[in-house]
Chains A and B, each alone.
Chain A
Amino acid sequence: MSTPSDPVLPPEELASGYVDGELSPDQRRLVEADPSLMALVANHTVARDAVAAAVPPLSAGERDRLIATALAASTVAPVVPITTARSTRWRQAAIGGLAAAAAAGLVALVLVRPSSDDQADGGASADTAATAALEAAETTVVTNSLPSFTPAAGGGAVTTAAAEAADAATRASDAPAAATTSPAPADLERSSSLANLGLADLGPLANRQEVIAAVAPFAAVTPAPEPAPCPGYPAPVATATFQGAPALVVVVAPAPEGGRLALVDAVTCAVLIEVDTAAA
């Protein structure tokens, strides 16, 4: 007989609790005294044993792959400041864009150079600033042509200074020639630079199914042995926009019958989604 403190349980909960050893001694005696409850216990025991039966284990290779991928995620999981998460190639693309804008401003300046002496002085001043900035930007591109990305390196400061100088030059060029416009640096980095990577763009992707369908052709692609924009991941094979975020498509594990690919945020390098194309 159960004690007053024991909850009144329906038969299946008594049977299941009996199987799991979760009943009080009084409740156990109650179950054992009732053949219908013991029959339920027998059924629940079979169900338990069926679920507890060994699941086919992972192969050693599969275990290693799953763990390696999870560990790789640990390097990109922390929130990384945007200024330190960009790759050399990324920076080059952005600075290249800025330099091009500065050069365009310079050309526009020459075309619309004013005739009066006062205006000419102002134009020459802007000209000088633009030229200096352009040289600085070009120097930075050369400086940053190193094979690996080091977030904390001084190159970042140089790049920033050059970018600011180029931007200042653009503004100076704009002063006498309002017709010349240049995109903001952030816009360049988030949109134009994706195109500057020279990779196939898979366009906007909204969900896993769309991602799997879009990246499936790259499943067997072996990434090029070049510096990767995102630490821990190979060089991207394509670009895309996932749920509004510019993304790089990387092949985590190439396989003709169904590789594993990931979309990583082009700015923060955080993994946006990872898919197995075998699921297509």
Chain B
Amino acid sequence: MDATAPDGELLAAAQAGDRDALDALLRRHIDIVHAVCSRIAGNPADAADATQEALIAIVRGLPNFDGRASPRTWMYRVATNACLDELRRRGRRPRAGLDEHDLDRPDDAPLLDTTVADRLSIEDALGRVPEDFRVAVVLRDVEGMDYAQIAQVLDVPLGTVRSRIARGRQALAEQLRGNRQRGSERPRERP
């Protein structure tokens, strides 16, 4: 099996027992699976374990793939659920999320500055976004799925996806702004 073959062909070969095809399939997608799990997990150690569980879930789920979804959609559905399950098992749920009403208040705050969006603050901020919202945002912004694909992966209506992404981004924007303000309040060294 050619390692550059399309996902569908690799997946079919892997289902038939071709380990080289399975290896190629995993190598092709491991980086994005890891990126998704990293953003959902919020720290490298949990991300590595979650990625491992996600890959194993894909391997074990091969016999269940029936072609109704695209191979990519199926893999990311399996990987996302495995990643979430792993984090739940480890008790690494996100910190207390925002209250729903926090997400509804009017946005009269100043615009965000991209320079504050460093990795540390993003992980911290994402960790405070409710899980349902966070996962939808991550699938959109890390994996690049469109709303319809995310609806398939999460098995929710399209309108729910739109709402979760919007509210997740809104919550994230609030958190990033909070991080920036906290950062600006830190005492500065004297010259």
B75 interfacial by beta-carbon distance below 8 Å: no
Q: Is A62 a contact of B48 with CB atoms below 8 Å?
A: yes
**Among A7-15, A80-88, A152-160, A241-249, the stretch in contact with B:** A7-15
Within 8 A of A (CB), among B105-131: 107, 111-114, 117, 119, 122, 125-126
**Among B3-11, B93-101, B164-172, B181-189, the stretch in contact with A:** B164-172
Q: Contacts of A58 on B, CB cut-off 8 Å?
A: 30-31, 34, 48, 51
Q: Contacts of B30 on A, CB cut-off 8 Å?
A: 58, 63, 66-67
Q: Contacts of A53 on B, CB cut-off 8 Å?
A: 117, 119, 122
Q: Contacts of A43 on B, CB cut-off 8 Å?
A: 107, 111-112, 169-170, 173
Q: Is A52 a contact of B162 with CB atoms below 8 Å?
A: no
Contacts across chains A and B counted by CB atoms under 8 Å: 150
A22 interfacial by beta-carbon distance below 8 Å: yes
A111 interfacial by beta-carbon distance below 8 Å: no
Instruction: Give the residue name and chain of the B residue nearest to A66 (CB).
Output: B52
Within 8 A of A (CB), among B1-52: 19, 22-23, 26-27, 30-31, 34-35, 38-39, 44-49, 51-52
B155 interfacial by beta-carbon distance below 8 Å: no
30 A–B contact pairs at CB < 8 A?
A: A9-B162, A12-B166, A16-B166, A20-B147, A43-B111, A43-B170, A46-B111, A47-B170, A47-B173, A50-B117, A51-B141, A51-B172, A52-B142, A55-B34, A55-B35, A55-B38, A55-B39, A57-B34, A63-B27, A63-B31, A67-B26, A71-B19, A71-B26, A73-B56, A77-B60, A78-B63, A207-B89, A274-B56, A276-B45, A276-B48
Nearest 5 interchain pairs by C-beta: A70-B55, A16-B166, A50-B117, A51-B141, A46-B112
